[in-house]
Amino acid sequence: MKAIEFVYTTAVADYSQVIAHLTACDENFFPSLSKKVDIALYADKIIKNAVTFEAWEGENLAGLVAAYFNDELLKKGFITNVSTLKKYFGKGIAKKLMYMCIGYAKTKGYEEILLEVSKESEAARNLYTKLNFNAVAETAKIITMTLKL
């Protein structure tokens, strides 16, 4: 059986590809993404304001990390989305995309990256911890984590 080959890109996906990916990943979030945001508006915001790091399997957007790098004063980035299609779980996609995002932040002179993760999402929390993100705040359902660069 042939191994799946992914192509990794930055800022290639368009609105329709991002919305299709987020819709396909909806139930992978805790709670589901559609319970937290209007997916169409969220995809539009990502395309207009975020830098996207993407994993493609052919024409299929398999994984997506989206981050805002617009705080030029404090040099803090914010990762708003980390998602992988369920059929690609365990292939290292999210880890590779996170490394791309961290590398981008460093090249742009950012000093810190923040993200929020659901307490229910153990796999995501474990990934961020392995990438040296540290919890800095939490509510009943959300943990805010930071990585000093």
Each residue's pLDDT tens digit, 49-84: 999 999 999 999 999 999 999 998 999 999 999 999
Instruction: Identify whether the C-beta of residue 76 lies closer than 8 Å to the C-beta of residue 70.
Output: no
Instruction: Identify whether the C-beta of residue 42 lies closer than 8 Å to the C-beta of residue 18.
Output: no
Using a pLDDT cut of 90, give the percent of the chain over it: 95
Cα separation, 100 vs 10, whole angstroms: 9
The residue to which tokens 């990585």 are assigned: 147
pTM, full prediction: 0.95
Architecture field, domain 7-110: 3-Layer(aba) Sandwich (3.40)
Q: What's the pLDDT score for residue 1?
A: 55
Question: For residue 138, what are its two tokens?
Answer: 């939490």
Query: What is the chain's alpha carbon radius of gyration, rounded to the nearest angstrom?
Result: 15
Q: What's the pLDDT score for residue 2?
A: 63
Res. 39: pLDDT tops 60: yes
List the chain domain ranges.
7-110
